[in-house]
Amino acid sequence: MLDLPFREIWCVDYEFRRIPEPERPEPVCAVALELRTGRRIREWQDEMGPKAPYDTSKDSLFVAFASDAEMECHLVLGRPLPARVLDLRVEFLQAINSTPRPPPDKNKQTRRASLVHALT
């Protein structure tokens, strides 16, 4: 593994549904994986509170794809925003910025900057 200056590296993903009024997410569940130790955290809606179950200090790196959604969930739950964030969608966009666009998907499920496209 890369020698990064972080005590912990957390890959985090929230699933949520949109509440129309006010326009905000309602977190349903969250999954987090700490890359160095392999520690896994799974949280359901009824288990979520204002304290994040993973470190959000400057000693840890928070990794997500399209992290704006995760930040919205943190705000709704009253959790502190992570001090250090790596958004893999931004990194993916930078990597494909000068490449030709893929052919249109007949199912229209693979958008250019989607997680599915990045994994493909």
Domain with residue 40: its CATH number is: 3.30.420.10
11 CB-contact burial (10 Å; exposed 0-12 / middle 13-18 / buried 19+): middle
Taking phi over 0 as left and psi of -120 to 50 as alpha, with beta for the rest, 73 belongs to alpha
Per DSSP, 56 falls in state -
**Confidence band for 5, pLDDT divided at 50, 70 and 90:** very high
* pLDDT tens readout for residues 23-52: 889 999 999 999 999 999 999 999 999 999
Residue 112 located in a structural domain: yes
Residue 3 located in a structural domain: no
Is the model's pLDDT at 22 over the cut of 70?
yes
Domain range for residue 73? Answer: 8-119
- Alpha-carbon distance of 5 to 51, in angstroms, equals 24
Split into its structural domains, the chain has a count of 1
Residue 1 located in a structural domain: no
Residue 2 located in a structural domain: no
Residue 116 in contact with residue 109, Cβ under 8 Å?
Answer: yes
